[in-house]
Structure 1
Amino acid sequence: MEPDLFTAAAEDRQEKDPSSSPLAVRMRPRVLDEVVGQRHLLKPGSPLRRLVGEGGGGPAGASSVILWGPPGTGKTTLAHVVSKATEKRFVELSAITAGVKEVRTVIDGARRASGGYGKETVLFLDEIHRFSKAQQDSLLPAVENRWVTLIAATTENPYFSIISPLLSRSLLLTLEPLTDDDVRGLLRRALTEERGLGGALSLPEEPEAHLLRIAGGDARRALTALEAAAGAAIDKGEREISLATVEETVDRAAVRYDRDGDQHYDVASALIKSIRGSDVDAALHYLARMIDAGEDPRFIARRLMISASEDIGLADPAALPLAVAAAQAVAMIGFPEAALTLSHATIALALAPKSNAATTAIGAALEDVRKGLTGQIPAHLRDGHYQGAAKLGHARGYVYPHDVPGGIAAQQYAPDSVRGRRYYEPTRYGAEARYADVVDKVRERLRGSGAG
């Protein structure tokens, strides 16, 4: 969408009086060297450097760029930096509000600007994953004919959310979540630089740590919270931003939780033990503490997958697939939406019937193996496919279970050293009750071979 007179006037006012812009806008990098994080994209000779004309021009064969990463990692920022570095005309659209009509208007404007003024256009399309296939198709002629340099941003996996023709014509750049050190550095620059707060206020360690927790790796969120806290501190006539002021302005109490310290493991342990104890409300409390403290959602998802096997197992065979699906969803969508997926999985696991039979079974089997109770594999179970196996008696006498009524062949499977050992002791909880009946019948059938 072409900027209207009001938008142009606002931009002109912001250029003349930068203090009228939000802090996150004022601190937006002007060149690639000011970009926070994303070191893998900013190395000398990288595609992004070449895109802005450093080291040999743009990347060969790419007429568009797709920026994929979590919110607040710098996708919009990189688009602005590229447009300024290349001195191209910059137009921004959001897939939330724009449609095919708006896209065509921009493309028509780009063709006029190119033909009439020789000015190339950068089209930044935010949240492209929200465009339908038909809407994405409308971009193809402009990309193929280089009428625009498309820079598209997405928080979702582009291989699932962007059509193949557009993806194949694009340079895909993956942005990584910002670290606490990245965001901390940005906050300190915002406090001291003239375009930021100009050294008017200081930020002690405790409120700084709380701002980092609030930000959760999102630079924009961190700067917005800092600006709100700084405004409140100035109104109070303070020269220092206190923890109380930060809490007051962001309406959130500081969570006593250190992602790298003891509390990290204590809260994670409490979450899993609450799930194991079927206390769904306690489990959600600890989950909320981890989310609010900025815990990596992938870490939480991994713990849930472990819990599904360790504490539920065959009492609910659907628990593990559900936890795995949650982990995959979390990896694709990130926060804040990932909180919904983690809540879904936590509730399901907490309310599922419980069994640690799979856990104790492998534990007992490993204990015997570590004691040296391995023994020789019965000859009829050994590989008989290679030349000479028959002479050694390998696979001789093996009974193919599919040829036996009931599909269970009464023959010895375990080595003599652990013959008759029972590792799996199923419970009578949930779906595992069915396995308990099955395993008793199977063992009785196998005992007919003397294997029991």
Structure 2
Amino acid sequence: MEPDLFTAAAEARAEKEPGRSPLAVRMRPRTLDEVVGQRHLLKEGSPLRRLVAEPQGGPAGPASVILWGPPGTGKTTLAHVVSRVTNRRFVELSAITAGVKEVRAVIEAARRDSGGYGRDTVLFLDEIHRFSKAQQDSLLPAVENRWVTLVAATTENPYFSVISPLLSRSLLLTLESLTDEDLRGLLHRALSAGRGLDGAVTLAPDAEEHLLRVAGGDARRALTALEAGAGAALAKGETTISLATLETAVDRAAVTYDRSGDQHYDVASALIKSIRGSDVDAALHYLARMVEAGEDPRFIARRLMISASEDIGLADPGALQTAVAAAQAVQMIGFPEARITLAQATIALALAPKSNAAVLAVDAALADVRKGLAGPVPTHLRDSHYRGANSLGHGRGYQYPHDVPGAVAAQQYAPDAVHGRRYYQPTRYGTEARYADVVERLRRRLAGEGEEQAPS
């Protein structure tokens, strides 16, 4: 099968005149073995390896691949590799600018090439989540009839953003953010490779660390910053890219922050303590330091979810909903937009009324359990739905709360060993002040005291 002559000519020219193409393009892997990171997808016998070895995937195999992951993790690269290794024509469209008309034109051309010239086509559709349901429907005939090998990329959860018929006909591959070591290897390769910078410059250690922070797991961003730094250094007649030169080139100040050391934990701790202390401005400062340092947004979101329960709790029950929604949004959109979502959640949590009653309550209950204060479940609460339970007395005497006025039956629920223990001690802050009144009224009713009325 002959390769695409136009693609081959373009690649040949790029090799002869490397300066014409961006560094990120020149360093794009040509085989799966050159791909950085994504080890879970590249091991021997993996679906991706089999797809490249047998491009059609067999009679029942997928004719479509969906690549899901953050920006700069290699989605476009993998599509190029599939095309290059299998000698197929590569056509790239973006869902931002292309519509059904452009997609149908590519599919029709692919049908002609396949039937008339025996040449197959890889259609790479970037940001497929931006296509409407009707637009995605237009891809189904081409996928089902194998007129093209569709490789679609998305930064959003495909289970929410891709129609079910297309998803069910596709091989879904999840890409992960690149680690610092992945990026470090890529940078060293770009500095020395002939199609890269070919040894023209070196990278100072502190500049390398800053570049990794700037990249934030994004290979394209790392190579673009490296190229900018190299250009700035060579323009000054220098052969080493210093931190100062790199900062000027990428227009970003270095942040003292070590994602694997003390600074990582110190700044994360300061963020949570500032939220706990209701200092919204300090919280935003520490959030900005984490964002600027390239911290994983999912890590930040997890810390916010913990804070919502640990430091706010029932003083503002909506705080946890806000934090969980932020975590879900961050997972779907990634940086840079995720910084806004994280800021919104941070502000909401910092300004919320505070209560640690939930933490104290569960820890007090755990302490009793660990001391051995457990005891058997009261007989009337035991499961009575199996044969023989009645003869054991299980469930006997149980009062169904919905059958009594106020829907609160005066009966014992806790084991004897802890009956009467008060684990939950609500505060009088925010919404929890209302719960404080409710819990006292309920406790009296459970003990058979007070009026028989529904709790407000």
TM-score, scaled to structure 1: 0.93
Q: Is the 8 A contact 2:310 2:358 kept in 1?
A: yes
| Matching residue of 1:283 | 283
Question: Hey, what's the Cα distance between the residues in 2 that align with 1:183 and 1:203?
Answer: 14
| Matching residue of 1:46 | 46
| Matching residue of 1:189 | 189
| Matching residue of 2:228 | 228
Match of 1:62, SS? coil
Change beyond 3 A, Cα 1:310–1:326? same
Aligned length: 443
| Matching residue of 1:305 | 305
Matched to 1:304, the amino acid is L
Q: Is the 8 A contact 1:125 1:152 kept in 2?
A: yes
Matches within 5 A, 1:352-431: 352-431=352-431
Q: Is the 8 A contact 2:274 2:280 kept in 1?
A: yes
Question: Hey, what's the Cα distance between the residues in 1 that align with 2:445 and 2:116?
Answer: 87
Gap regions ≥5 residues in structure 1 = 1-5
Match of 2:93, SS? strand
RMSD over aligned CA atoms reads 2.1
| Matching residue of 2:27 | 27
Write the deviation string for residues 39-58 of structure 1: whole angstroms up to 9, x where unpaired. Answer: 222222322223223xx554
Q: Is the 8 A contact 2:55 2:86 kept in 1?
A: no
| Matching residue of 2:432 | 432
Question: Hey, what's the Cα distance between the residues in 2 that align with 1:162 and 1:77?
Answer: 21
| Matching residue of 2:332 | 332
| Matching residue of 1:3 | none
Change beyond 3 A, Cα 1:397–1:103? same
Change beyond 3 A, Cα 1:388–1:150? closer
Question: Hey, what's the Cα distance between the residues in 1 that align with 2:317 and 2:56?
Answer: 52
1:109 aligns with 2:98: no
User: Which stretch of the first structure deviates more once superposed, 319-328 or 229-238?
Assistant: 319-328
Match of 1:375, SS? coil
Change beyond 3 A, Cα 1:58–1:44? farther
Q: Is the 8 A contact 1:412 1:449 kept in 2?
A: no
Report deviation, 1:392: 3.9
Question: Hey, what's the Cα distance between the residues in 2 that align with 1:431 and 1:392?
Answer: 44
Write the deviation string for residues 263-313 of structure 1: whole angstroms up to 9, x where unpaired. Answer: 111111111111111111111111111111121222111111111111111
Report deviation, 1:113: 2.2
1:208 aligns with 2:208: yes
Question: Hey, what's the Cα distance between the residues in 1 that align with 2:343 and 2:231?
Answer: 35
Q: Is the 8 A contact 1:411 1:449 kept in 2?
A: no
Match of 1:153, SS? strand
1:445 aligns with 2:445: yes
Question: Hey, what's the Cα distance between the residues in 1 that align with 2:135 and 2:431?
Answer: 47
Question: Hey, what's the Cα distance between the residues in 1 that align with 2:148 and 2:375?
Answer: 70
Q: Is the 8 A contact 1:47 1:58 kept in 2?
A: no
Match of 1:366, SS? helix
**Which of structure 1's runs of 4+ aligned residues deviate more than 6 A?**
6-12
Matches within 5 A, 1:218-257: 218-257=218-257
| Matching residue of 2:454 | none
Matched to 2:17, the amino acid is D
Gap regions ≥5 residues in structure 2 = 1-5, 451-456
Question: Hey, what's the Cα distance between the residues in 1 that align with 2:235 and 2:113?
Answer: 47
Q: Is the 8 A contact 2:314 2:431 kept in 1?
A: yes
Change beyond 3 A, Cα 1:141–1:373? closer
Change beyond 3 A, Cα 1:133–1:153? same
Q: Is the 8 A contact 2:291 2:297 kept in 1?
A: yes
| Matching residue of 2:168 | 168
Change beyond 3 A, Cα 1:146–1:316? same
Matched to 2:292, the amino acid is D
| Matching residue of 2:57 | 59
Matched to 2:18, the amino acid is P
Question: Hey, what's the Cα distance between the residues in 2 that align with 1:227 and 1:157?
Answer: 32
Match of 1:81, SS? helix
Match of 1:448, SS? coil
Q: Is the 8 A contact 2:15 2:195 kept in 1?
A: no
Report deviation, 1:8: 10
Write the deviation string for residues 396-452 of structure 1: whole angstroms up to 9, x where unpaired. Answer: 2222211110111112223333332222111121111111111111122233379xx
Change beyond 3 A, Cα 1:383–1:51? closer
Question: Hey, what's the Cα distance between the residues in 2 that align with 1:111 and 1:300?
Answer: 48
Match of 1:151, SS? strand
Q: Is the 8 A contact 2:228 2:250 kept in 1?
A: yes
Question: Hey, what's the Cα distance between the residues in 1 that align with 2:365 and 2:50?
Answer: 57
Q: Is the 8 A contact 2:275 2:350 kept in 1?
A: yes
| Matching residue of 2:152 | 152
| Matching residue of 1:321 | 321
Q: Is the 8 A contact 1:383 1:394 kept in 2?
A: yes
Report deviation, 1:388: 4.1
Question: Hey, what's the Cα distance between the residues in 2 that align with 1:200 and 1:162?
Answer: 45
User: Which stretch of the first structure deviates more once superposed, 224-233 or 360-369?
Assistant: 360-369
Match of 2:203, SS? coil
Question: Hey, what's the Cα distance between the residues in 2 that align with 1:155 and 1:284?
Answer: 26
Question: Hey, what's the Cα distance between the residues in 1 that align with 2:102 and 2:392?
Answer: 76
1:98 aligns with 2:98: yes
User: Which stretch of the first structure deviates more once superposed, 441-450 or 195-204?
Assistant: 441-450
User: Which stretch of the first structure deviates more once superposed, 222-231 or 79-88?
Assistant: 79-88
TM-score, scaled to structure 2: 0.92
Question: Hey, what's the Cα distance between the residues in 1 that align with 2:161 and 2:376?
Answer: 53
Report deviation, 1:13: 4.6
Matched to 1:226, the amino acid is L
Match of 1:125, SS? strand
- Give me the identity figure in percent: 80
